[in-house]
Amino acid sequence: MTRMLTILRTLITSFLLLAIVGSSTPIVTAQDATPGSGTESELTSPLPIIDLPTMNSQSYTFELASSWQGDAESVPQEVPIFQVESISYDQEQVAEVADTLGVDGEITEQGEGTYTVEDEGSIYTTPGLLQFVSAVEAPDEALPDDEAAIAYARDWLRISGLMPADIGDGSIVAHIEEPARLIVEFLPANPAPLLSSTPGITVTVGPAGTILESRVRWATITEVETYRLRGVADAFTVIEGRQSYLDVTLPIEQFPQGSTITGTATYDEVSIAYTSSGAMGEAQYLQPVYIFTGTLAPEGSDETYSISAYVPAIVTELQPVG
């Protein structure tokens, strides 16, 4: 599974540059948040820095002149944040999962909440993760289409007792040609959309809908505060200053690895998504992110390309400072 995801990530040509927020930006703490109705503030310290992919496999440098031509009236001024508590498994729960999945080997406890079961297939659990690998060989048949693969994966999660109540619709995140595989990802139904892969579940589907592997990184998600967002105009200054995360796909034959990409980026839409924050073993949250979308016109090219820029919607004390 890890090898498959590594191949997937290598093939992706989305390039994201780490945003650095200027030191003049105000710090937001729990005192700037609105507690839920009838509750006291649950946060006593600033929120941790958000996690976003920092993929730039082609080592591009972006030097873009950016402009905002959109309407921000539909963007809310405040949104909730959510606390995330990863789900772990004790020995009794591991035994139940193993019995359901037909893995009849002895449960081996490795300490610190980690268990393994190996027989016909294998199960590995550690705090926040359950991984299942099937011993079934995939038949020499065709892969199902995307819709059918998602249905196979969802049905398998339901039968195996691993499907959470708050699971989303599911999507295909990888098509692998050799060996033929489809990787289905399920994210929480709320909050959505979610940029991070955790909390989440992946299911590897083979020919004829055979379930070959699954990784479950689910969590209990609880709304804890409502935070006032930084203004859209203020957030866009991060993009103008060339300090945002960028996501753009460019043809490698025209823009070789290591190129400096110049030109103009015109953004006309903005929306809000969520991403994870906080280190493993510490308090973790799902926080809002602005997604500005528009068109990139690279210098020297007659073509234009879709571009997205990501800016933290809440500024925290732990943001990196330029």
* Percentage of the chain lying above the pLDDT 90 cut: 73
Written out in words, the top-level CATH class of the domain with range 86-221 is: alpha beta
Please state the rounded mean pLDDT for residues 34-52: 61
Close Cβ partners of 38 (under 8 Å, ≥ 6 residues apart): none
Assign 322 to helix, strand or coil: coil
Cβ neighbors of 113 (< 8 A, separation 6 or more) are 88, 89, 90, 125, 126, 127
In this model, does residue 16 exceed pLDDT 50? Answer: no
Cα separation, 164 vs 85, in Å, equals 14
pTM: 0.80
State the average pLDDT over residues 59-87.
Answer: 93
Residue 40: predicted pLDDT: 43
Give 5's contacts (C-beta < 8 A, 6+ positions apart): 174, 183, 202
Please state which of the ranges 42-51, 85-94, 109-118, 269-278 shows the lowest mean pLDDT: 42-51
Instruction: Work out the pLDDT band at 148, boundaries 50, 70, 90.
Output: very high
35 pLDDT band, cuts 50/70/90, is very low
Burial of 246 (0-12, 13-18, 19+ CB in 10 A): buried
Boundaries of every domain in the chain:
11-84+224-312, 86-221
> If pLDDT is split at 50, 70 and 90, which confidence band does 25 have?
very low
- List for the chain the helix, strand, coil content (%; round to 5): 15, 40, 45
Radius of gyration of the chain (CA): 22
Residue 254 has pLDDT above 90, yes or no: yes
pLDDT at 38 over 80: no
- Return the SS3 of 167: strand
Please state, for a pLDDT cut of 70, what percent of the chain lies above it.
Answer: 83
Q: Return the number of other C-beta atoms located less than 10 Å from residue 2's C-beta.
A: 8
What's the DSSP call for residue 304? Answer: -
**pLDDT number for residue 65:** 98
CB atoms within 10 A of CB 319: 22
**The residue type at 236:** F
Supply φ then ψ for residue 295, to 5 degrees: -130, 135
**pLDDT at position 53 over 80:** no
Average pLDDT of the chain, as a whole number = 85
Sheet holding 114-119, edge to edge: 107-111, 114-119, 121-126, 129-133, 211-217, 200-205, 181-186, 171-176
- pLDDT of the residue at 158: 97
Supply the pLDDT for residue 52: 80
With a cut of 90, say whether residue 311 has pLDDT above it. Answer: yes
- DSSP-derived secondary structure letter, 52: -
pLDDT at residue 39 tops 70: no
Between CA 184 and CA 4 the distance in angstroms is 12
> Would the pLDDT of 27 be above 90?
no
Please report the beta strands in the chain, taking only residues with DSSP state E, as ranges in sequence order. 33-35, 61-68, 78-86, 107-111, 114-119, 121-126, 129-133, 171-176, 181-186, 200-205, 211-217, 219-228, 245-248, 260-277, 284-298, 305-312
User: What pLDDT was estimated at residue 15?
Assistant: 36
Partners of residue 86 on adjacent β-strands: 219
Interval 230-241: pLDDT, tens: 999 999 999 999
